[in-house]
A = this chain, B = another copy of it.
Amino acid sequence: MSRYDDLVHRIRDRGSFLCVGLDPDRARLPQHLGTEPQAILDFCETIIQHTAEYAVSYKINLAFFEVLGSRSMELFAAVREMIPSDCLLIADAKRGDIGNSSRMYAETFFDTYQCDAVTVAPYMGKDSVQAFLDHQDHWTVLLALTSNSGSQDFQRLSLQAGGQVYEQVLHQSMRWADKSQLMYVVGATHPEMFQQLRNIIGDRFLLVPGVGAQGGTVAEVCAHGLTDDVGLLINSSRSIIYASSSADFGEAAAAAARDLRDQMRDVAASQLLRR
């Protein structure tokens, strides 16, 4: 079974294409956990235990680990170990450098930390992405059209040859790897762009951040972005992990994740059926 088919299978098995984003901000942890590094582990463990039933993927944001200082990667590794083995584990690192440096980043996330996928920034072009694609048993998740306001600044510039910069990123990178190895980040804040995107990338998977705190909705994303094989991993971070700042934050996270999962089941009922 190809890695593409395997992901579709996992999604249908779980009846969910929810990706839970782990952005454990020390300043936003429930007070009773404290602010020591152990609090990060306790927080993530509770969130994962309470959401695993509803999620098919977890995305760990490296920014919130690196800031923890000398123990940062030990803490990242510990959280990485908490992710259920049947969930797709995405290292949200947004790396990208010249070939020999990108090779180190790829080795870090794919080999050292055994992540299934890593997010990569396209600005430096093919050789900066190729080092990740050389790990053919893993997913490279290339930034295309991000969810933030700054996505307007460069990604959406119109090109002389037609189309916009992010479309050219899609067109070119499509030739670098197939749908079992390369997926794209496209923000939920651009639902009107999904149909146009699908014309370029066919049924490739999209990792879609921006649902919840950033304003996107499951219904909008699905209305324009679903394929017969689902083709979406919808990520929500803050609306799940900070659903409550009290002792019940695990239960609140579960409720928020369940709600998103249920929305997915409503909107994508036929796509989630096993074939």
| Count of identical protomers in the assembly | 2
Give 1 or 0 for each of A157-175: 1 = CB within 8 Å of chain B CB: 1111100010011001000
Known contacts A66-B73, A108-B67, A148-B124, A95 near B94 by CB under 8 Å:
yes
Q: Does A155 contact B (CB under 8 A)?
A: yes
Residues B126 and A149 in contact, CB atoms below 8 Å apart: yes
Q: Which residues on B sit within 8 Å (CB–CB) of A64?
A: 101, 104
A148's closest neighbor in chain B, by CB? B98
Q: Which residues on B sit within 8 Å (CB–CB) of A77?
A: 70
Partner of A101, one of B23, B112, B160: B23
Q: Does A125 contact B (CB under 8 A)?
A: yes
Q: Which residues on B sit within 8 Å (CB–CB) of A112?
A: 67, 69
Q: Does A122 contact B (CB under 8 A)?
A: yes
Q: Which residues on B sit within 8 Å (CB–CB) of A152?
A: 125
Q: Does A177 contact B (CB under 8 A)?
A: no
Give 1 or 0 for each of A73-104: 1 = CB within 8 Å of chain B CB: 11001000000000000001011111111101
Residues A154 and B123 in contact, CB atoms below 8 Å apart: yes
Residues A165 and B157 in contact, CB atoms below 8 Å apart: yes
Most buried by B among A23, A71, A95, A214: A95
Q: Which residues on B sit within 8 Å (CB–CB) of A147?
A: 98
Partner of A105, one of B63, B74, B105: B63
Q: Which residues on B sit within 8 Å (CB–CB) of A63?
A: 95, 97, 101-102, 104-105, 108
Partner of A97, one of B71, B73, B94, B99: B94
Q: Does A153 contact B (CB under 8 A)?
A: yes
Partner of A154, one of B95, B97, B98, B125: B125
List 14 A–B pairs whose Cβ atoms lie within 8 Å, in order of A's numbering.
Answer: A64-B101, A64-B104, A67-B105, A98-B148, A99-B148, A121-B124, A124-B151, A124-B155, A125-B146, A125-B148, A125-B149, A125-B155, A154-B172, A159-B159
